[in-house]
Amino acid sequence: MVASNIEGTKQTKLQVIETIEEMRKLLDRNDRKGKTVGFVPTMGYLHEGHLSLVQYAREENDLVVMSIFVNPAQFGPNEDYATYPRDKERDLQLAASAGVDIVFIPSVDEMYPHESGIRILPGEQKSVLCGAKRPGHFDGVLKVILKLFNIVDPDRSYFGMKDAQQLSIIESFVHDFNLRTKIVRVPIVREEDGLAKSSRNVKLSGVERKEAPAIYKALQKGAKYIEQGKHPEEAIQMVKEMICSETTGEIDYVEILSFPDLQPIEEHSKEIIIACAVKFEKARLIDNIIMSTKEGKLNVSNNDE
């Protein structure tokens, strides 16, 4: 048994598990006695966004399980796996104080003991937004998520809306393959100035941190354009111009799509996402606004007609 305990303020003890075998023994459905399990998968370096997931899970379940695993399978060759921020002891203290019961914190060798030739390929949802610029990223996300769901076997799993593309793909995966867990959406947690909380925010320089809230302000203005009945291309152009004029970041993409299928919007789309990614010197930030629409209000006709 590889496990340890750490004192928490809301729970007497936080169990820390490092092996798959021990997690399965601890959470065997035959031994749960009707207790529900809420699962919060993370890559660590916890912030208030992660802790909001815990809060939702705590309110809806008897046991809260968190995983902390920086998943190499979802990082490309030129991405920041090696430098992704890590602070195990801080994470465990935050998890304990937030009310997490069990933290699963496996090594890479524990999760991937050998190279597998089997791949899980996302559908068309991967071809837009971050997926268009990060080939293989969501293959790696589904790989680790399937393993984690099989290990923890949660009743409910909690995902933040900040990575809306990841959420939409995981929702489809769970639905299409009849996985047992229920996916629960949790709203984006923001700083007071509107910047979406992210582990990567620590990589922003002082100047970049002051500029970064302009991303959300631009998305808000884009949403107002849509509400006013303007064409999505006008809203996209406005968002791009505002980000370019108010930040030193480089725009990766700005897109407006239907949600959660992430397809081009149609006149009667009921829910849409305005999403963007902006690259600063050492950090790539993503953000989005998901908004409901009234049927017939969206202007999707060609402006040149």
In sequence order, the 6+-apart residues with CB closer than 8 A to the CB of 159 are 41, 53, 166, 167, 170, 183, 184, 185, 186
255 is in an annotated binding site: no
92 is in an annotated binding site: no
- 50, 114, 137, 175: which is the annotated catalytic residue? 50
190 is in an annotated binding site: no
43 is in an annotated binding site: yes
User: Which residues pair with residue 258 across a beta bridge?
Assistant: 272
49 is in an annotated binding site: yes
189 is in an annotated binding site: yes
Torsion sign over Cα 119, 120, 124, 128? negative
Q: Give residue 286's identity as a one-letter amino acid code.
A: I
225 is in an annotated binding site: no
The C-alpha atoms of residue 185 and residue 259 are separated, in whole angstroms, by: 13
50 catalytic residue (yes or no): yes
200 is in an annotated binding site: yes
Comparing CA positions, the residue from 242, 197, 248 lying closest to residue 215 is: 242
258 is in an annotated binding site: no
162 is in an annotated binding site: yes
166 is in an annotated binding site: yes
58 is in an annotated binding site: no
Residues designated as active site: 50
Annotated binding site: 43-50, 74, 160-163, 166, 189, 197-200
Annotated binding site for (R)-pantoate: 74, 166
Annotated binding site for ATP: 43-50, 160-163, 189, 197-200
